[in-house]
Chains A and B, each alone.
Chain A
Amino acid sequence: MPVSLANSRVVYDALKKCGVGLISALPETWLVHMIRMADEDPGMILVRLAKEEEAVGISAGAHFAGVKSAMLMQNHGFLASVNGIVSFAQLYRIPLLMLISYRGHFGERDPWQTEGGGATEPVLRALGIPFGFLDDPAKTEKQIADAQTLSLSRLHPVALLLTRELMWEEPQS
Chain B
Amino acid sequence: MMQRIECLRAVYERLNDCLVVTIMGAVATELHSLGHRPNFFYLQHAMGLASSTGLGLALCLPKQKVVVIDGDGSVLMNMGGLTTLARYRPRNLIHVIFDNESLLSVGGFPTATATGSDLAAIASASGVPRTRTVRTMDALTQAFDEALKVNDLSCVVAKVEAVGPKGYVTDLALLENRFQFKRHIEGLVSSSRAERGSPIT
Contact = CB atoms under 8 A, between A and B. Distances in A.
A40 B33 CA distance: 46
A131 to B, nearest CB: 21
Contacts of B43: 57, 88, 92
A53 interface: yes
B87 A66 contact: no
B136 interface: no
B174 interface: yes
A167 interface: no
Nearest to B190: A66
Interface string A132-162: 0000000000000000000000000000000
Interface stretch (B75-83, B99-107, B142-150): B75-83
B189 A66 contact: yes
B78 A91 contact: no
The interface centre, meaning the residue of B55, B56, B88, B175 with most chain A CB atoms within 10 A of its CB, is B56
Interface residues of A, number: 32
Interface string A82-97: 0110011001111000
Nearest to A65: B60
Contacts, number: 114
Nearest to A50: B80
Given A48-B84, A50-B81, A61 B174 contact: no
A62 interface: yes
B46 A45 contact: no
Interface string B178-201: 100110011001000000000001
B78 A54 contact: yes
B57 interface: yes
A84 B53 CA distance: 11
B61 interface: yes
Contacts of A48: 84, 87
A60 B53 contact: yes
B59 interface: yes
A14 interface: no
Given A47-B55, A61-B55, A88-B49, 16 more contacts: A50-B83, A50-B84, A51-B78, A53-B49, A54-B55, A54-B78, A57-B48, A57-B53, A61-B21, A62-B57, A62-B59, A62-B60, A63-B182, A64-B181, A84-B46, A92-B174
5 contacts: A45-B60, A57-B46, A62-B59, A83-B46, A92-B175
